[in-house]
Structure 1
């Protein structure tokens, strides 16, 4: 899908048609895939990761690192590509990470990542699609 806001589904029904059941549960209902179950947990390749909902480029593969948490982890992102919100669900206080283009739930960010940012963007694989040619 093109990362243009005008091309985004206009209704919940259109999102349900476009996304698989698991993509819908995670991206539109803020679900979480089980740890170590996602296709990109151990993925290592040059390219970039985009939002599975709208195709907007999110993370460069150069910022991916092994965190041991069970989800793909990145230490940096262009702040214009994501939004963050306080998440108090499940009796925890966390910072939710959303796609700035379509509002899809990606995961959470924590302050226990490596230098130079100290951040760990803990992202659901199902929220992502990988492009080995995309470098923007």
Structure 2
């Protein structure tokens, strides 16, 4: 019993420390309006796998996304609403099998606590459409020390110098 409470306390300290680090990255951006669509509307626009990850908070298999190998300059956007989320210069090889980034674009993600696996984790979503992207951990590289572990199916890659698509209405 004491051991479980001690471990729960350690998880809470870890989670609170990481939450403070996330505050700057998750400050809301005023440059876009939230997009509200029903689940039925999203189902019509997305593949079954993308819908499952983005709006049912599923997880794709590791090493299944071609985006994991992308190293070209460009921008990673939300596969649902096309909001730019990550610049390619913040992507790195984490060895996890999912595209990983050390920092999102400011104000482009929102976070919430996920306790599905008992120990609290920080889940992040697109700030515009609410689509689930992945989880953030504190084992990433400098300068942030964070790892935004993203489902590849929740993203689209726009290589430079291609123009970003208009935000989905």
Same fold? TM cut 0.5 = yes
SS of residue paired to 1:118: coil
SS in 2 for 1:76: coil
Which residues of 2 match residues 10-25 of structure 1 at below 5 A?
A: 10-25=37-52
User: Which residue of the partner structure matches residue 73 of structure 1?
Assistant: 100
| Corresponding residue number in structure 2 for 1:118 | 145
How many matched pairs? Answer: 132
Distance in 2 (CA, whole Å) between partners of 1:61 and 1:134 is 15
Alignment RMSD: 1.8
Instruction: Name 1:51's counterpart in structure 2.
Output: 78
Give runs of ≥4 in structure 1 deviating > 3 Å.
Answer: none
Q: 1:51 to 1:126 in 2, by over 3 A?
A: same
Counterpart of 2:111 in structure 1 is 84
Question: Over alpha carbons, which structure has the higher Rg?
Answer: 2
1:28 partner SS: helix
Q: TM-score, normalised by structure 1?
A: 0.90
- The partner residue of 2:120 within 76, 80, 93 is 93
Tell me, yes or no, if the aligned pair for 2:84 and 2:105 is still in contact at 8 Å: no
- The gaps in structure 2 that reach 5 residues or longer are 1-31, 165-169
Q: Answer 1 or 2: which has greater helix percent.
A: 2
